[in-house]
């Protein structure tokens, strides 16, 4: 990839932004929200003003996972303007991480000041139960790629972005306090991203616990890296849909199980995100 390719990506981003602005009366979202597997309900709570199918937005990838709808929703949550991705893109679908993170670039150029990310994940902390939540305080990238690889998009961020404090401490503290006050079962921990699409072997779950992870999933980290490259504050939260550690607790998991468990956790997650959207100042 040469310098020219950076220019091509910038042009693609600008074309998508232009299309979106033309089709939303230049709606100016304050926050961006990415909804993970089985966690699309929050979208229903948005007072929707505009909705765009991914398929109509120039250069947007189209989600291949049936459990993910492919829509960008513009509207108000807690009275604040937001844009929500109902359905996201995963490395295992075959996209490059530049494609996976393209919508994050676009949301930033639409004006978002903060990114909220949710996902379904396997629990590795022995204190976890299916249906619990985990606020992400840090992550480990085990994907065999990085969305920032290749010429840097200098207009958007630095070549070597810092990752010493990826997840916004103020949002984490606010979410922890809210969960405590509302008796929501919620942990705070480290998320590790793996390529998938297969779930982990018992030996792999054990390895992921040993390297310091509390939850494992197949998403989030690429979008978060790109958000931090552009200096966006990030809040991430996982719905624990199955248990990977200790290995005696590992059971066979199907997509239906994951979606069912995510639906159990969803109302709590929605409450936490609403509370943050309502109470964060910027
Ligand atoms: N592993 C990886 N990804 C996942 C899991 C898991 O156990 N559960 C939900 N997404």
Our mutation pick for probing the ligand 1 site, out of 244, 249, 260, 266, counting the most ligand atoms within 8 A of Cβ, is 244
Protein residue with least CA distance to atom 5, ligand 1 = 122
pLDDT category at 2 given cuts 50, 70, 90 is low
Q: Is the CB of 121 under 6 A from ligand 1?
A: yes
Q: What is the pTM of this model?
A: 0.95
Q: Is the CB of 239 under 6 A from ligand 1?
A: no
In this model, does residue 194 exceed pLDDT 80? yes
Protein residue with least CA distance to atom 3, ligand 1 = 217
Residue 101: predicted pLDDT: 97
* Mean pLDDT across 211-222: 98
**Tell me: the pLDDT tens digits for 140-176?**
999 999 999 999 999 999 999 999 999 999 999 999 9
Residue 155: predicted pLDDT: 92
Q: Is the peptide bond before 31 cis (omega within 30 degrees of 0)?
A: no
**Tell me: the pLDDT tens digits for 59-92?**
998 766 655 568 999 999 999 999 999 988 999 9
Q: Are 246 and 278 in contact (CB under 8 A)?
A: no
Q: Are 81 and 28 in contact (CB under 8 A)?
A: yes
Helix (H, G, I), strand (E, B) or coil at 277: helix
CATH number of 3-279: 3.40.50.1580
Residue 255: predicted pLDDT: 85
Domain boundaries, the chain: 3-279
| Residue 163 to residue 72: CA distance in whole angstroms | 28
Question: Cα 202 from chain centroid?
Answer: 26
Q: What 8-state DSSP symbol labels residue 132? A: -
DSSP string, 48-82: EEEEEEGGGSTT------TTS--EEEEEEETTEEE
Q: Are 117 and 220 in contact (CB under 8 A)?
A: yes
DSSP string, 96-121: -HHHHTHHHHHHHHTT-SEEEEEEEE
Question: Cα 259 from chain centroid?
Answer: 16
Protein residue with least CA distance to atom 7, ligand 1 = 122
Q: Is the CB of 52 under 6 A from ligand 1?
A: no
Q: Is the CB of 199 under 6 A from ligand 1?
A: yes
| Residue 98 to residue 19: CA distance in whole angstroms | 20
Protein residue with least CA distance to atom 9, ligand 1 = 121
Q: Is the CB of 216 under 6 A from ligand 1?
A: yes
């Amino acid at each position: 990839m040469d310098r020219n390719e950076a220019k091509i990506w910038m042009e693609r981003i600008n074309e998508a932004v232009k299309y979106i602005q033309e089709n939303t009366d230049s709606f100016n979202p304050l926050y961006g929200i990415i909804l993970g597997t089985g966690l699309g309900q929050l979208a229903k709570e948005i007072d929707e003003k505009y909705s765009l199918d991914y398929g109509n937005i120039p250069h947007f990838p189209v989600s291949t996972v049936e459990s993910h709808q492919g829509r960008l929703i513009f509207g108000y949550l807690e009275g604040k303007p937001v844009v929500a991705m109902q359905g996201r893109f995963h490395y295992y679908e075959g996209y490059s991480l530049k494609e996976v993170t393209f919508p994050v670039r676009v949301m930033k150029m639409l004006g978002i000041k903060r990114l909220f990310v949710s996902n379904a994940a396997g629990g590795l902390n022995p204190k976890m139960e299916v249906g619990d939540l985990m606020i992400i305080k840090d992550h480990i990238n085990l994907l065999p790629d990085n969305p920032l690889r290749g010429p840097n998009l200098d207009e958007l961020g630095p070549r070597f972005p810092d990752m010493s404090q990826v997840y916004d401490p103020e949002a984490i503290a606010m979410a922890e306090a809210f969960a405590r006050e509302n008796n929501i079962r919620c942990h705070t921990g480290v998320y590790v991203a793996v390529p998938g699409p297969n779930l982990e072997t018992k030996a792999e779950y054990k390895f992921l616990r040993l390297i310091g992870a509390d939850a494992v999933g197949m998403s989030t980290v690429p979008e978060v890296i790109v958000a931090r490259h552009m200096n966006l504050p990030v809040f991430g939260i996982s719905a624990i849909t199955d248990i990977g550690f200790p290995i005696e607790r590992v059971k066979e998991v199907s997509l239906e199980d994951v979606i069912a468990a995510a639906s159990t956790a969803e109302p709590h997650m929605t409450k936490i995100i609403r509370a943050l959207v309502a109470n964060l100042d910027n």
